[in-house]
Structure 1
Amino acid sequence: MSTDISSVDSASVDIVVVGSVNLDQLIEVVALPRPGETVQGGPVARLGGGKGANQAVAAARLGRSVALVGAVGTDQDSAGLRQELAAEGIDITRLAAVPGPPGQAVVLVDQQAENCIVVSPGANAAVGPPTVEAAARELAAAAVVVAQLEIPLPAVLAAARLARGTFVLNPAPAVALPPELWPLVDVLVPNRTELARLAGVPEVLDVAHAARLAAALPCPRVVVTLGAAGALVCEGAAYELIAAPPARAVDTTGAGDTFCGALAVALAEGRPLGAAARFAVRAAALSVERTGARTAMPSRAALERRTG
């Protein structure tokens, strides 16, 4: 008998992602525009996105069972986003529908594979504690719960309180975190910019500086993503730089989300943080070799073929 993958027993999933679902509109440009500048771009590609949805897709493609908690709208775009996520094998039972459009993002990608992104929250702004609390059973049963900051902070705090496994927070976009959230975070995964914002400094100068900043945060385990340089794993005062393998970069848009999804997979499989970060670095490196965020995320088979 066939099973509706949008309504499977979500209490049995390995990973629950609590976060945003967006429709991305991606435009390739020769160079990213400066303030006041207009640049000509290529065709507009409409792709599923949002940090929550992207990280859920990354984890699902790498072989773990995943549920997504969040919200989309009630329009045709939202229906399409639901279908895409269900087709990835993700449980969308707890993906609420609120009147209006989904979240949307405009993504510009230049010829050096760098990007800039503008996000309109749409339905994501309606994700609050009630949305999260409806998934309390799933959150308590999951080995890993992952959240980001493209949904309101009260929803993130509710997820952290309900998680019984490892709670991973990707603080993107970076904002000041409430004091009551910090003790609930098991693993924090910022990039350089987000680490600087959380630490209250203008920028991260180098790896040693990043390690000092991470050690000063009120979180015992921090993994700083460093793009082509790999990732910095900090556990207390100890730190390790994990180099990224060589990659033919085309588009870096989804690399951070691929990393977070892959890290969740490895942690759900019981790997130590350093080994989990190595797995995630390899997945992220492979993702930059194709255009788009979700479209570039590798399957487990593709990752194993590349890494052996």
Structure 2
Amino acid sequence: MVPKDKRSDGSRFGTAMNVLTIGGAMVDTIVTIASDKIEQIKMRNAESSFLLLEEGQKTEVEEIASSGGGGALNSAVAAARLGHNTSIIAKVGHDDKADIVRSLLRAEGVDITWLAADESEPTGSSVIISSHDRNAAVFTYRGANTRLRPEDFPAEAFAGRQLVYVANLSNESADCYPLVVERAKSAGARLAVNPGIRQLTARFDDFWQSLKHIDILCVNRAEAQTLMPRLLQSFGDGGAPLIVGKDDPLPPLAKRGLRNGGYEMTLAKFLSALIELGVGAVVLTDGANGAFIARGQDLHYRAAQHVVAAATTGAGDAFSATFACYLADTNDAVRALSAASINAASVVQHIDTQTGLLSRPVLERELAHESEAALLSFPI
């Protein structure tokens, strides 16, 4: 079981829901390199930056650490620490890394009944390079994460769930996404989806057809811009800008909007289009520039906390999972947005993806000191 300082009594702060997370589970190797040991190049006319490794040379590093990772695993740990009864559907191999994944999940109190093992592919793994801005570069081998099949999603795994959270799926696993949606909705669960770029490109039709069934959609700016071209076909580009009070600064993404292939769409138009297509709530994160939540006719913005980042890997999983759990539990979008921002800020202060995940009591104490100045609201 998980130590009392890490898990919470869900009955004290809300409902202890039955949560199911779906997606990747892997082992991360995290390499932290001092900024003066590796060169960084930033593009002047683009938003890309690069870390340069010198060919044929050894590079001294500050630390090499190992931890669990993957969207479903990170989200399961987040939900469990928030006091929810959590299970996971993911796939590992028959190897030592699979034992690491199982041990970590058991220690957090996550039910691994539906954690499958593939006969041919090893457990997924990543090498994460953290330096300079700590916006890590990641080398990923997905392994067994790509091998989820229909038989890995039995109806009984979904029975009694209040929330089904679907992280990024790829390859064969992504082929099962329509089945996941059908199972979640048949069980009467709220469906939260946090897709990745690969799923939004190679498997876009399945995702598009599912929009009317998604209760909570979480995307970052890059994923939103990947979605934009299809929205343009139905809603056109441009759109009305957001209007703020004279003393309120306009957040960067609200000012610049979304861009893809020479087309632009204002943030308000993008979010309202997804709501019109049937999505219950849309979360759009923009890293250190904060995050937006659109629900019905309301749009809320929450500035990111200013913290010293050790690594940014895992912040998106922490944000999305925390938001989904809080919204499904409390139905309070503003509180869910603040809780997600606080938990993500805690995660980036650690080099791995889980050490910083907060328990429900700690997060509630942080929320009690939340500043209203960090929040803005707009009509859309």
TM more than 0.5: yes
The reply on whether 1:243 has 2:300 as its aligned counterpart is no
Gaps of 5+ in 1: 1-11
Deviations 1:69-93 (A, max 9, x none): 1111111111121111111000010
1:44-193 equivalences under 5 Å are 44-99=64-119, 100-132=121-153, 134=154, 136-151=155-170, 152-163=173-184, 164-174=188-198, 175-176=200-201, 177=204, 178=206, 179-193=208-222
Please report how far the alpha carbon of residue 138 of structure 1 lies from its aligned counterpart in structure 2 after TM superposition: 3.4
Residue 171 of structure 1 aligns to a residue whose secondary structure is coil
Deviations 1:82-140 (A, max 9, x none): 111111000010000112411111211113221122321111111122211x2x22324
Structure 1 vs Structure 2: percent identity of aligned residues?
28
The reply on whether 1:300 has 2:360 as its aligned counterpart is yes
Asked if the contact 1:32/1:115 (under 8 Å) is kept, the reply is: no
Distance 1:36 1:242, change over 3 A: closer
Q: Please give the alpha-carbon distance, in whole angstroms, between the structure 1 residues aligned to 2:196 and 2:138.
A: 12
Instruction: Give the aligned residue type for 1:150.
Output: L
Q: Please give the alpha-carbon distance, in whole angstroms, between the structure 1 residues aligned to 2:52 and 2:83.
A: 44
CA root-mean-square deviation: 2.4
Q: Please give the alpha-carbon distance, in whole angstroms, between the structure 1 residues aligned to 2:307 and 2:361.
A: 18
Please report how far the alpha carbon of residue 249 of structure 1 lies from its aligned counterpart in structure 2 after TM superposition: 2.2
Q: Please give the alpha-carbon distance, in whole angstroms, between the structure 1 residues aligned to 2:111 and 2:89.
A: 9
Residue 209 of structure 2 aligns to a residue whose secondary structure is coil
The reply on whether 1:221 has 2:245 as its aligned counterpart is no
**1:207 pairs with one of 254, 257, 265:** 254
Asked if the contact 1:225/1:232 (under 8 Å) is kept, the reply is: yes
Q: Please give the alpha-carbon distance, in whole angstroms, between the structure 1 residues aligned to 2:288 and 2:39.
A: 19
The reply on whether 1:20 has 2:24 as its aligned counterpart is yes
Residue 251 of structure 1 aligns to a residue whose secondary structure is coil
1:266-281 equivalences under 5 Å are 266-281=326-341
Return the index of the structure with the highest Cα Rg. 2
Q: Please give the alpha-carbon distance, in whole angstroms, between the structure 2 residues aligned to 1:215 and 1:305.
A: 33
Q: Please give the alpha-carbon distance, in whole angstroms, between the structure 1 residues aligned to 2:39 and 2:144.
A: 28
Instruction: Give the aligned residue type for 1:214.
Output: L
Deviations 1:11-70 (A, max 9, x none): x96210011101111111325766793153524322110011011111111211110011
Q: Please give the alpha-carbon distance, in whole angstroms, between the structure 2 residues aligned to 1:104 and 1:297.
A: 21
The count of aligned residue pairs is: 293
Q: Please give the alpha-carbon distance, in whole angstroms, between the structure 2 residues aligned to 1:227 and 1:86.
A: 31
